Amino acid sequence: MTASDPETFQFAADGAFPNSRLPVLIYRRLDLAGTAAAAENAFAANNWLGAWRDGIFSFHHFHSTAHEVLAIVGGGARVTLGGPSGRTFEVGRGDVLVLPAGTGHRNGGSSGDFLVVGAYPDGMDWDLKRGDPAEYEDAQRTIAGVPLPDADPVHGAAGPLTRLWRE
């Protein structure tokens, strides 16, 4: 693995949180996530749009209509990926998480200066699902229709996402 290669993780569906057949990508300690403006500019250059600045919800949730990139530009947090039976990661300034549609995530506790910049490929509209089993099948169908992005939010069209998500 090189400094520009992401860590990859996959999480199984559990009947409430569909997760994804696509791997979650976690880039560690990147310069582009050093400031909010730098992250927004890098994402926009790679057509990940609709950038926002905030935190991560403190409840388990996922998006069935969009993939999401999260750059940690301030502080740190314990972020659980994969829903309630997933895995908790320590993330901090400079880390970038790329979540395929359906991936459960939540903030399990963060520092007071925790700040995230998020965006979506092509500025996709996102929804908010909390893992209601009654919505599971519809969410799976919606997720299956979410197109793959044309570019990795960090490294562009030649980045690891384009290879890893098309294998």
pLDDT of the residue at 33: 62
Q: pTM to 2 decimals? A: 0.96
Question: Is residue 27 in some structural domain?
Answer: yes
pLDDT of the residue at 1: 35
Question: Is residue 161 in some structural domain?
Answer: no
Confidence class for position 2, pLDDT limits 50, 70, 90: very low
Provide the CATH number for the domain around residue 93. 2.60.120.10
**Is the Cβ–Cβ distance between 96 and 51 less than 8 Å?**
no
Nearest partner of 27 among 65, 62, 1, judged by Cα: 1
Question: Is residue 1 in some structural domain?
Answer: no
